[in-house]
Structure 1
Amino acid sequence: MRKLFFNGILIVLFSTVAWAQEFAKGADVSWVPQMEATGYQFYDTDGTKKDVLQLLKDRGMNTVRLRVFVNPSDDPRSGHCSKEETVAFAVRAQKMGFRMMINFHYSDSWADPSKQNKPEAWKNLSFDQLAQAFYDHTFDVMTTLKKAGVTSEWVQIGNEIPGGMLWPDGSTDNWKQLGILLNKGYDAVKAVDKQIKVIVHVDEGDNIQKFRTFFDNATAQKVQYDVIGLSYYPFWVKKDYTETIANLESNLKDLITRYQKEVMVVEVGGEYDKVENTKALLEATIKAVRALPDNKGLGVLYWEPQGEKSWSGYSLSAWLPNGQPSPALDAFKN
């Protein structure tokens, strides 16, 4: 506020203050349509049936992340997530007030550090043809979402890609080609909406050397992106979060300084049957990301919290056997 006097009259000027962007708290919930289709029921803590998205919203979540496969099977756990299904679910989630992240796997099923399989329809393409198919698929999905009225805030170009994607063509053994693919994805997203933030995603968020190796190479190839996405699963490195959270904090700070980018934990999870430990893990992760300087830490997303083990076989969900949310998810309320 500034005070000025003009002809003896006090004039008070209020400076305009830009509100800090809202912290993203949410989850990848891509299994939901298949869970519902197979008859799975979701309940609140009082035993009443409720829309699973509402249950997550009631626990402080404001963001959903949805994956996209290219030509998936109809397997309820490792298929679906086609363009059409993803768009329909995105419309539903946005109507409930959720912010949106789209996660491209560039495969017909799961893509992760152990497998980055080409879609069947792209297997025999030359690299130039592959790069064009990559661009066309990204542009098509994003255009369809936009036509459906969905505003995507973030888009991931690839899912957990420390070794690259679309192997062998886009492997980190050939960084030049991987750089071309990542930039094709970036260009396709920005051609639809320049405001969307493009994420590049690597696993083991507490492993600083893994991130430096990947993103130093990305920098050398002039890869364009807006946000560095991290997975953080102490379970998969056989450690408790208390042994790894300091390394996550250090890596987050290093990424912001070294690459001048925003960061976001786009996947986190703890053991479903260790409720208090998982809640503490989530509280510590959210605290670490929130504490980053200049609002460079954008948010924290759980991976498939509603994917209750009896349905999914996944032990890092955050749902109880009775169909109710785990109390661990209360960590997102703050």
Structure 2
Amino acid sequence: MATATALAGGLTLGGGLPAALAAPHPAPRQSGRPRPRVLGHDLSTLQQLEDVGKHFSDHGRVLPAEQIVAHHGATFIRERLWVQPPIPYNDLPHILTMAHRIKAAGLHFLLDFHYSDFWADPSHQTTPQSWQGQDLATLAQTVYDYTRSVLGALARQGTLPEMVQTGNEVTAGMLWPQGQIYVNGTERWPQFATLLKAAIAAVRDTSRSIEVMVHIDRGGDNAGSRYFFDHILAQGVDFDVIGLSYYPWWHGPLSALQANLNDLAPRYGKDLVVVETAYPWTLTDGDSEPNIVNAQTPLLPGYPPTPEGQLAYIRTVRAIVEGVPQGRGRGLVYWESAWIPGVGWEPGAGDAWDNMTLFDRQGRALPSIRCYQ
């Protein structure tokens, strides 16, 4: 594509998009600026659960879930953002409300832009309906403007995130088809990088204090992780933190996670966060929706599907991250700690994650809530 070639070659885009997209400029790091440790929980379904009457408690005391996890050592809350979702949640109004709650609980905020109307992952990176049909340059401008708009709204209420993910599990690209990497036997890294740079430029232009994470799903795959980050760095992508998903039944044993993290940190000189992980506390099902992890799922030897096994798993992952060379292991985020039965993963469906939470089916904190203490 002529447009993609021009962008990759360093031409300035029209329409007000910063020239920074064509000429990467690593953000100057402030010497001595503290880097908060990431001991996080993704609570993206919390508001939806609360609206159907679910509540959470710790030793009999009913409290908002973010306050419970803060009491038990959490430092970050992660929230996903969809553009125009099919359900009225994980949209900007709900993010604005949740950002206030996160800050009120004394926690840091990690904002996860999906750049989609619904779930984005390595198999699904659907361009929002209202953005479809745009050429690459126009779509890059749209990504920049949207990202600036969201962060501007958060800035106006004094709740800017400390860290931003510019895309969710973008292993195979984002905003398909324009930003899809692997197409008919070819690899389209310049096109993907154009969109990723647009998102990052919007974060940088909002505030240099916000750390930018690029997130893929290759927690136990060192070769795959190297391949991805080598390529985006070759395209001049400027970011701060490597984010990885790690679920052992998909991504291999703990030894593979450890080997990958220990290689990536010195190779790239960047901090790493296991930004998604989880483990079952039971193999029973809390509703009619079949669980993703069940009796047929290969679990880790020595980590039974009990609250104690779950706690041991999280503490082991934390120890692996904290042992990363050069102090580059920043932490981890437990994915959907509070997704108890009550709402589903899509309209009309049930909860396929109810045995992976850190709360029981009545919203009572499990012993594994102490994972960060």
TM-score in terms of structure 1 length = 0.88
Q: Following the alignment from structure 2 to structure 1, what is the Cα–Cα distance between the partners of residues 132 and 203?
A: 23
Structure 2 matches for 1:1-334, cutoff 5 A?
21-45=35-59, 47-74=60-87, 80-173=89-182, 174-237=188-251, 244-273=253-282, 274=305, 275-309=307-341, 311-312=343-344, 313=351, 314=353, 315-333=355-373
Please tell me whether the aligned partners of residues 308 and 321 of structure 1 are also in contact (alpha carbons under 8 angstroms): yes
Q: Matched residues in 2 for 1:310 and 1:88: separation?
A: 21
**Aligned partner of 2:77: which letter?**
V
The Cα shift of 1:316 comes to: 2.5
- SS of residue in 2 equivalent to 1:236: helix
Cα distance, 1:20–1:85 mapped onto 2, change above 3 Å: closer
Matched residue, 1:9: none
AA of the residue aligned to 1:48: R
| Structure 2 residue identity aligned to 1:300 | L
Q: Secondary structure at the match of 2:62?
A: coil
Moved more, 266-275 or 93-102: 266-275
Q: Tell me the CA shift for residue 86 of structure 1.
A: 0.3
C-alpha distance in 1 between matches for 2:356 and 2:214: 23
Q: What residue identity is the alignment partner of 2:220?
A: D
Identity of aligned residues (%): 34
Once residues 99 and 33 of structure 1 are traced to their aligned partners in structure 2, the CA distance between those partners, rounded to angstroms, is: 18
User: Which has the larger share of helix?
Assistant: 1
For the aligned residue pairs, the C-alpha RMSD in angstroms reads 1.7
Cα distance in structure 1, aligned partners of 2:33 and 2:130: 46
Range moving further from structure 2, 88-97 or 288-297? 288-297
Q: Is the 8 A contact 1:108 1:118 kept in 2?
A: yes
- The code of the aligned residue for 1:318 comes to L
Alpha-carbon distance between aligned partners in 1 of 2:341 and 2:94, rounded to the nearest angstrom: 23
- CA-to-aligned-CA distance 1:248-301 (integer Å, 9 cap, x gap): 111112111111211111111011312222211101111111122333111111
Asked whether the 8 Å contact 1:25–1:300 carries over to 2, the reply is: yes
Counterpart in 1 of 2:297? none
Query: 2 CA distance for matches of 1:135 and 1:119?
Result: 14
- On the 8 A contact 2:135/2:178 being kept in 1, the answer is no
Cα distance, 1:69 vs structure 2: 0.6
**Residue matched to 1:6:** none
Q: Which structure has the greater CA radius of gyration?
A: 1
Q: State the SS of the aligned residue for 1:88.
A: helix
Q: Contact 2:54/2:342 (CA < 8 Å) preserved in 1?
A: no
Pick closer, same or farther for the CA change 1:20–1:140 going to 2, 3 Å: closer
1: CA distance, partners of 2:219 / 2:116: 23
Q: Which amino acid aligns with 2:333?
A: L
Alpha-carbon shift at residue 87 of structure 1 (Å): 1.3
Cα distance between partner residues in 1 of 2:229 and 2:54: 41
What TM-score comes out, normalization by structure 2 length? 0.79
188-197 vs 264-273, greater mean Cα deviation: 264-273
Tell me how far apart the structure 1 counterparts of residues 35 and 150 of structure 2 sit (CA, whole Å).
26
Q: Could you say which residue in structure 2 is the equivalent of 1:8?
A: none
Q: Secondary structure at the match of 1:146?
A: helix
Provide the C-alpha distance between the structure 2 equivalents of 1:268 and 1:185, rounded to a whole number of angstroms.
25
Count residues with an aligned counterpart: 307
- Higher mean C-alpha deviation, range 131-140 or range 313-322: 313-322
Following superposition, the deviation at residue 73 of structure 1 comes to 2.1
Q: Quick one: distance in 1 between partners of 2:228 and 2:141?
A: 24
Deviations 1:70-109 (A, max 9, x none): 11122xxxx5111121011101110110101110000001
Q: Tell me how far 1:310 sits from its aligned partner.
A: 5.0
Q: Is the 8 A contact 2:266 2:325 kept in 1?
A: no
CA deviation after TM superposition for structure 1 residue 19, in Å: 9.2
